[in-house]
Structure 1
Amino acid sequence: MGTHIPRLCGEEWENWANKILSVHYGPTEYQQVPDHDRGDAGLEGFTRGSGHAYQAYGCEEPISTADRYEKQRDKMTKDIGKFINNRSILTRIFGTVQITRWAIFVPHCDSKDMIAHASKKTSEVKSAELPYVADTFQVCVCQQSDFSVAESQLLNAAQMQLRFSAESPTPQQIAEWNEANEGPSQVLAEKLFRLPTLVNDDARSKFHSQVLDWYLMGQDILDGLRAYPETFAKVKSAKSHRESFLVTGIVSGLPPQDHLMRSVNDLREALELEVRELHRFSSESLAYEAVADWLLRCPLDFPEVVDA
């Protein structure tokens, strides 16, 4: 079980990185370098004033920290080689610009070894005595979260919608979660006895598994959303806000099943309004995750059924 492609990769990441950099620096400061005419010059673009050169790279996810490091390290090694060996074409591209930083721009970096590798490559570039390299030159690593303000501006302006697709947990995964979380699972079971639409043990057992399915799938989507910190914070804020009003549903006199579905719909509408960059399918999944979480933790409850 896990979210699919929580981070962009390949050409999609390169295109998104160029947009982020253009917004961050400004379109007349950041110069993208096309690679369609005479091949890849070893960089995505550069800035005219500060002399920052960028190469974007996003590997296929999900991937371990060790494998991610190896792929990012190899990409840096390859493109620093181009930065050194493509002296004649880069001299013409940079003109009078002196490059102070060469950065590999990745969706996520979680290995300190990449910093050490960048230091090693800094020495190699300086030893090459390139005409377009400044005395203060450094090779470095940048990641998506470093440009959160520019990314937020892009998401809000273009209404780019983030869509996450999570795999449904297997019966074994649900059983393992039940065993490891006996307390919340028992709380949920007790609440389901108060849903009059669940008329027997078999119906309650199936719905119990369905609620855990909502919860675990939603948790995977939330994990994917951590790659977009501002969006993640808005989702958590909307959930917290709606949670504070759950008690009003209990005293409203609504039947438990209606109170349950109203809670889902209220949060889904709140997410669609407050987190507009989130695809409506993801908003719906997160609304169901929230209701499952509330049922497990106790913020959402149903009144006792009183026999007539």
Structure 2
Amino acid sequence: MFRTPFGTYNGDSWEEHCQTFLKMKYEADGYQEMTAHTQGDLGIEGFTRKGIVFQCYCPDEEYDSTKLYSHQRDKITKDLNKLKKYKSQLLTFFQGVKIKRWIFLTPKVTNKALIAHCHEKAVEYRNDATMKGLLDDSFDVLVHDELFYGKEIIQAKQILNEKINIEVPVPDEQEVIDWKQCQTASIAILDRKIGKLFEHLDEIPKTQNTNKFIDLQVRNYIKGQEILNHMQQTYSSAYEKQVKIKSSIASHLEAEVLLTDLAPKELLKETLEKYKLALMGENFHDIFEFSVYNDLCHEAIASWLIDCPLDFGG
């Protein structure tokens, strides 16, 4: 299995995802899937009537950057060679439409040398006289990872009854320490606010619990911000909805803090529940795995504690 920040795939599941989102994205361009059950895939998984063809590839396991590049490079070379091998069969499918772009769809690209390899192969095939009639004079070879199809991947996962997972590492102790050292003003704010959650304790356990909870909020904030960065790049529609919800709740928090009769812990719990319900109203729990949905909720609390809207009075 091959893991990315947004999913876990093998060869079959990646191809299934690709076919689903290609049919959505290129329906207006006459996209056609090339099934491989009879004569093989002929070097392409599908094509449009505008001269774009696609080939999918997902490695069978996790590789380092060098080995992943080697497998991807060899797959591109091998499948492009099928254009020569199956030229006569392909001509019957394309009916006069020449191939302008051959796009290699793979979940992740980690080595820029793959881009150079694609360019070299494009030049090679444009200059190959035996490919006249099949390839356009502008023929190009490109590589696309899943980031090219963010909106369509969301729809594809819903169609395939899958939820999106955005995997980011949990910040380690040193990351938390580094953040706290760079954000001394924010830590002072957190110390004042969070201390109120443990005012019922004696001084030593109060200090211990306050410090632990501060570290937890910093960890939630760092991890949540990384998830939001991925969402902004790939799932912009969901990201924008989250921004609006978070901003709307934050805009009313200051007044609610002044008027509430709730104890600090109850106010914290109520605010978290309000945000969870707002995200559910936009079907975030249907789109994203619970871990993502949960991390977004805890990032919001950490953010509001750090940036001041959420306070406990007194």
Q: How many residues are paired up? A: 299
The answer to whether the 8 Å contact 1:168/1:213 transfers is yes
- Cα distance in 1, alignment partners of residues 62 and 270 from structure 2: 36
Distance of aligned partners of 1:165 and 1:143 in 2 relative to their CA distance in 1, 3 Å threshold:
closer
Residue aligning to 2:247: 240
Q: Which has the higher contact order (CA 8 A, sep 6+)?
A: 1
Residue aligning to 2:82: 82
Q: Are 2:187 and 1:185 aligned?
A: yes
The answer to whether the 8 Å contact 2:4/2:107 transfers is no
1:197 CA displacement: 5.7
The answer to whether the 8 Å contact 1:272/1:280 transfers is no
The answer to whether the 8 Å contact 1:192/1:198 transfers is no
1:19 CA displacement: 0.9
In structure 1, runs of 5+ residues without a counterpart are none
Residue aligning to 1:205: 211
Amino acid at match of 1:219: Q
Give the TM-score taking structure 1 as reference length. 0.80
Residue aligning to 1:5: 4
Q: Trace 1:263-274 onto structure 2 (pairs within 5 A).
A: 263-274=271-282
1:229 CA displacement: 2.7
The answer to whether the 8 Å contact 2:115/2:142 transfers is yes
Distance of aligned partners of 1:148 and 1:296 in 2 relative to their CA distance in 1, 3 Å threshold:
same
The answer to whether the 8 Å contact 1:51/1:100 transfers is yes
Distance of aligned partners of 1:299 and 1:78 in 2 relative to their CA distance in 1, 3 Å threshold:
farther
From the two aligned structures, give the one with the greater helix fraction.
Answer: 2
- Cα distance in 1, alignment partners of residues 63 and 313 from structure 2: 43
1:241 CA displacement: 2.2
Q: Deviations over 1:16-40 (max 9, x none)?
A: 1211111122299222223355555
Residue aligning to 1:137: 139
Amino acid at match of 2:4: I
1:118 CA displacement: 3.2
Residue aligning to 1:290: 300
The match for 1:258 among 266, 273, 290 is 266
- Cα distance in 2, alignment partners of residues 114 and 68 from structure 1: 10
In structure 2, runs of 5+ residues without a counterpart are none
Distance of aligned partners of 1:173 and 1:137 in 2 relative to their CA distance in 1, 3 Å threshold:
closer
Residue aligning to 1:121: 121
The answer to whether the 8 Å contact 1:272/1:283 transfers is no
- What is the RMSD computed on CA atoms of the aligned residues? 3.3
Distance of aligned partners of 1:228 and 1:57 in 2 relative to their CA distance in 1, 3 Å threshold:
farther
Give the TM-score taking structure 2 as reference length. 0.79
1:286 CA displacement: 0.7
